[in-house]
Amino acid sequence: MMDLPLEGITVLEFSQYLSGPSAGLRLADLGARVIKIERPIHGEAGRKLSIKNLWVDESSLLFHTINRNKESFAADLKNPDDIALVKQLITRADVLIHNFRPGVMKKIGLDYAAAADINPRLIYAEITGYGKDGPWREKPGQDLLLQSITGLAFTTGNFTNGPVPFGIAIADILCGSQLVQGIIAALIRRNKKGVGALVEISLMESLLDFQFELLTTYYNSRQQPKRSHTNSGHTLLGAPYGVYKTADGYIALAMMDIGVLAETIECTALYGFTNDHAFAQRDHIKALLAAHLLTQPAQHWLQRLQQRGLWAMEVFDWEKMMAHDSYRALQMEQTLKAEGKQIITTRCPIRINGRRLFSDRPAPKVGEHTEKLIREMNEVIVNKEPHAFRRYTGN
């Protein structure tokens, strides 16, 4: 067994859908014991969030991808007896995560002030959609809505496309990742000073930080960055930066000298253009280049470009990517088993001392570990042990 850095840390996850559970997943990958606090019978709402109607058991495939390697404690948070059990869990936990709307945890007596009274060393981490103050505080914190309201949808695609959202739940995943950074920082401070902390983040703040390069430009110029009309790749970069169609596929061109590019691919239409024209005449240069690249297949262009040391790559779909030796060398896939079914998913991308972090433990059933955790708490009370939980390593 690998000695993981968060071994011995217990996390209570009061979370649903993607942002909170993705944070819990990363903490679990790093060795923490993560216990999902779920409503009885139905569990958290993310269990029913299905993409392409893919299911494993009573829960969706999506749920299993971000809730592997966790335990489940079923509790009705409107029931005083269940709240009492949850408070016992809090007394011996290191971290509490929730992504409920502002005010929800306070209504049930589990806001930061109440939790800190129970356990002053607790790291209390919460995700909101738009922060706890301001007129948008009650708006639904949904990824597409956040991409839209923060202007992110105007950074992708061509100018003529209108707003184009990312094809993934970027706000949720990014916010979960940043929450983990805050939690680990707070744990380090607790180790030095012996105090807990309130760690707060919102989906909106995550997406604003994600756009720091573009927003910094806007703050200082008050000019809205504009996508190029064709082959757009980055609003702040000039030609040829973008993705181009060839005779049989697509290639991506990054930053490069226009004169060297023109010579390398023998594009006479670009002769005479220099880097001074890269932004001022971005659309015109890209249109000329796009027409030229259509005349030959992708490998013809890539061979020339890469031999010259210019930054160019083929654009792969997942089938092509997975067939490549570079992908296989990373060993990014891992297999889980749930209800007799195999689930292939990605592993944690972090390596520690050269070792990859794999975990084949599937997501729990609703309340699967409730009785076990209650027994552990009772044993602690009888034996007066200082800490309730060790990492769960079996069924």
- Mind telling me the catalytic residues? 172
The full length of the chain comes to: 395
Rg from Cα positions in the chain: 25
Q: 256-261: which pairs have CB atoms within 8 A and are 24 or more residues apart?
A: 256/310, 256/311, 258/285, 260/308, 260/310, 261/289, 261/305, 261/310
Tell me the two tokens of residue 333: 């896939």
Distance of CA 334 to the CA centre of its chain: 18
3-state secondary structure of 54: coil
User: What span, in angstroms and rounded, lies between the C-alpha atoms of 332 and 70?
Assistant: 20
User: What span, in angstroms and rounded, lies between the C-alpha atoms of 20 and 25?
Assistant: 9
Q: 373-378: which pairs have CB atoms within 8 A and are 24 or more residues apart?
A: 373/35, 373/71, 373/73, 373/89, 374/85, 377/85, 377/88, 377/89, 377/92
Name 336's Cβ contacts closer than 8 Å, sequence gap at least 6. Answer: 64, 68, 342, 343, 344, 345, 360, 361, 362
| Residue with token string 């071994």 | 7
Question: Are residues 72 and 368 in contact, defined by beta-carbon separation less than 8 angstroms?
Answer: yes
Question: Are residues 130 and 139 in contact, defined by beta-carbon separation less than 8 angstroms?
Answer: yes
Tell me the two tokens of residue 52: 């392409």
Q: What is the DSSP letter of 60?
A: B
User: What span, in angstroms and rounded, lies between the C-alpha atoms of 332 and 349?
Assistant: 7
Question: Are residues 150 and 211 in contact, defined by beta-carbon separation less than 8 angstroms?
Answer: yes
| Residue with token string 């070792």 | 355
